[in-house]
Amino acid sequence: MQLTPTSVTRLDRAFRWPGGARVGIIFNVAYEGWSEGQTPGLGPMGNPLRSGFVDVNAASWGLYGPTRGIWRALEVAERNGIPMSIMVNGVLAEKWPDTVKAIHAGGHEIIAHSYGMDVIPVYLDEAGQRENIKRTTGLIADLTGEMPSGWISPRGTGSPIHAALLCEQGYLHHGDCNDDDLPYHIAFGERAIVGMPLTMDVNDLPSAIRYGNAARTLIEQFDDLLAASLEHESAPLFFDVTIHTHVYGRPAGAWTFDAMMKKARTARNVWIGTRRTAALHARTYWT
């Protein structure tokens, strides 16, 4: 298998989303879990514990995702009739299978998100990366009856060879990139994968946890980005709206997800879809 790209082909200004829209919006949910004994590296408490101690506060904070947050996010999407792209760690298919089944039954795209948030591909050798892809893919596919077509690594960080390994396993697209406004075609010899940039401009985790912004700030970011995209840009583009089930899956933030969906639905000349449908549509421009 060719491990470095043989070509990268980007879309030009003539590209349009389905229906002729110039601007696309994708609503993502990061539904995250950690391997046994591991906890989130970022939590609501500003003072980190000393090294060598288990942060039970962060662990409990992360568990809100499967207990309440994912259900609230699914409810918001159902109210608005919007399909989402939902990042799912393999460990959640093991420990919370009913939630993963509900995501699939709801018609949402499941994006493989590594086995756990602590399993970051760049820390693994080639064999370890292959095993992580196989394990994560298998856990999700065995539960839903369908192999995920997309992958996003924890913190959007794959490795120099990870896209090639995903391509080898039959993945349609990956989001471990942030270097374009549009999908692009990455060839590895005779095989290819779509790079689907993961945009971070409207994302609850950095906004609320890293920078301490109020929830309504995320709506302001969305409003500003949508206005800029429609009124100040002339080239085609898309952007992501992302919440985490353990962050804005809570009542304090879930309402913003609902509000942004409603705004997107009423915006003119905007296409709303999943990362899978976006990748499939973009691929028609190269075939």
Query: What's the pTM?
Result: 0.96
Cα radius of gyration (the chain)? 18
Q: In terms of Cα–Cα distance, which of 200, 213, 183 is closest to 284?
A: 183
Query: What is the distance, to the nearest Å, from the Cα of residue 252 to the centroid of all Cα atoms in its chain?
Result: 21
> Strand 237-244 relative to strand 202-203: parallel, antiparallel, unpaired?
parallel
Alpha-carbon span 96 to 172, nearest angstrom: 26
pLDDT in tens, 27-48: 999 999 999 989 888 778 877 7
Token pair, residue 247, equals 């962050």
Rounded Cα gap, residues 151 and 101, in angstroms: 18
Greatest pairwise CA separation for the chain in angstroms? 55
Task: Report pLDDT for 43.
Answer: 79
Beta bridge partners of 241: 27, 202
Q: What is the mean pLDDT of each run of 10 residues along the chain (287 residues)?
A: 91 97 99 94 80 90 97 98 99 98 98 98 98 98 98 98 98 98 97 97 93 95 98 98 98 98 97 99 91
pLDDT at 45: 81
The answer to whether 10 and 183 are in contact (CB under 8 A) is: no
- Separation of alpha carbons 149 and 172, rounded Å: 5
Residue 230: predicted pLDDT: 98
Alpha-carbon gap, residue 160 to 123, rounded angstroms: 11
For 7-37+54-283, CATH gives 3.20.20.370
At 211 the pLDDT is 87
Q: What count of Cα atoms within 13 Å lies in the side-chain half-sphere of residue 258?
A: 14
Q: Is 185 left (phi over 0), alpha (psi -120 to 50) or beta?
A: beta
The backbone torsions φ and ψ at residue 133, rounded to the nearest 5 degrees and listed phi first, read -60, -45
pLDDT of residue 46: 73
The helix (run of H) or strand (run of E) holding residue 57 is helix 56-62
Burial 100-139 (b: 16+ CB within 10 A, else e): beebbeeebbbbbbbbbbbbbbeebeeeebbebbeebbeb
Q: Domain residues of the chain, as ranges?
A: 7-37+54-283
pLDDT, residue 24, reads 99
Nearest to 97, CA basis, from 145, 134, 59, 53: 145
- Are the beta carbons of 148 and 111 closer than 8 angstroms? yes
What pLDDT does residue 1 have?
74
